[in-house]
Structure 1
């Protein structure tokens, strides 16, 4: 894998975890790196839990848009786990099905699950299923502000329908962060967290300003990246 591919993959995981949708999978048997990566490319961060007790902790921590639960997961019974979540947030719950255990799904469905997914899990199947939920996930991979369209899964930016040359990774991250908040303000600290992650790697404001200047040149006059002194930056359409 090339350095660029590794960097893009790392970026997809980071922004999915920080700003994307969350999918909680509560299953004692399956934890798939390939599924996590495929969902991250769609703007969905997958959190795995091997017991329903851990699942409740992760549910409280992340407030996921959707939860997949295998009926045989140890801990509190799966139907009680679903009922507990429903009392606090009513997420979109999907029961994981193995044909040999089809009868086990009934109790989970009666407790509040809305759909069934077969195992082994498939990213396209999950994506299609979750986009039927009351909180569809597709918006997290694709962001549109005025004439600017950014697709993180395809690592693509288009202006007025025309794809522009691929942005360097930091400028791509910068543009997406600004678009998610547009026309609101993103603080310097929020930009550092989105672009560089951990505190010991965060650069000075001069480095952010340098990337902003370069981004302005790449997007031309369709939008303006404004500096609001003492607060941060905002993206506004001209």
Structure 2
């Protein structure tokens, strides 16, 4: 198996994580959205993200950028307010983050296409980490494609694509229900129960036919294996 999966950490007090997470999932980018720089430090240590978006309004943003730049080489994007939410001294706040180590600027509300363009041109491009291979199954998040034995199968609905990607990332290990909820719906709390996951698993099994075995491990989660 070739491991992959791009991680984007967003540190922003605004409440918009779910929509962005779902939109970026189509590019194979997993978004973790936190509201404080303290939570950002915790997630940064856990994730080793490819890129980090830091809102100028986040308390301690400049110090946060300085710290993470000392402990790695993440691509840092300064998030600044739009016309309705101009933020703290606009250009001055962005300038401070750039001096601390940010390399690019994104206007809020963040658009998936703009963020994708920024992070694909970063030194550690997410496009280089978007391909997964498990047995005869090859998933390319950048091209939004799944091939089996070299033949492309029909495009999967977004949730099933993300479900397959999460299972392939851990194959042949188990992905817990909570991990699947976060992968498919983000970490903002608005996530459905196990029956909805089971429904998507059933549909994915049907699309893959006998190519892979997706097993329910009672009390734990799901695993994907190939023959």
TM-score interval, smaller chain: 0.5 to 0.7
Give 1:90's aligned residue.
Answer: 73
Give 2:16's aligned residue.
Answer: 31
Query: C-alpha displacement at 1:90, in angstroms?
Result: 2.2
- Distance change >3 Å, CA 111–CA 196, structure 1 → 2: closer
- Distance change >3 Å, CA 95–CA 158, structure 1 → 2: same
CA contact 2:7–2:49 (8 Å) conserved in 1: yes
CA contact 2:4–2:132 (8 Å) conserved in 1: no
What CA distance in whole angstroms lies between the structure 1 residues aligned with 2:63 and 2:95?
13
Give 2:123's aligned residue.
Answer: 134
What CA distance in whole angstroms lies between the structure 2 residues aligned with 1:84 and 1:174?
31
What CA distance in whole angstroms lies between the structure 2 residues aligned with 1:196 and 1:57?
19
CA contact 1:71–1:108 (8 Å) conserved in 2: yes
Q: Structure 1 length normalisation: TM-score?
A: 0.60
- Aligned residue for 1:108, secondary structure, equals helix
Q: Where does the alignment leave 5 or more consecutive residues of structure 1 unmatched?
A: 1-17, 202-209, 217-231
Q: Where does the alignment leave 5 or more consecutive residues of structure 2 unmatched?
A: 181-193, 195-204, 213-223
- Distance change >3 Å, CA 166–CA 96, structure 1 → 2: closer
Query: C-alpha displacement at 1:83, in angstroms?
Result: 0.7
Give 1:214's aligned residue.
Answer: 210
- Aligned residue for 1:110, secondary structure, equals helix
Is it true that 1:120 corresponds to 2:103 in the alignment? no
Bigger RCO of structures 1 and 2 (CA < 8 A, at least 6 apart) = 2
Give 1:150's aligned residue.
Answer: 139
CA contact 1:150–1:176 (8 Å) conserved in 2: no
Name the one with the larger helix percent: 1
Q: Structure 2 length normalisation: TM-score?
A: 0.63
Structure 1 vs Structure 2 CA RMSD: 4.1
Larger radius of gyration between Structure 1 and Structure 2: 1
CA contact 1:173–1:195 (8 Å) conserved in 2: no
Aligned residues: 182
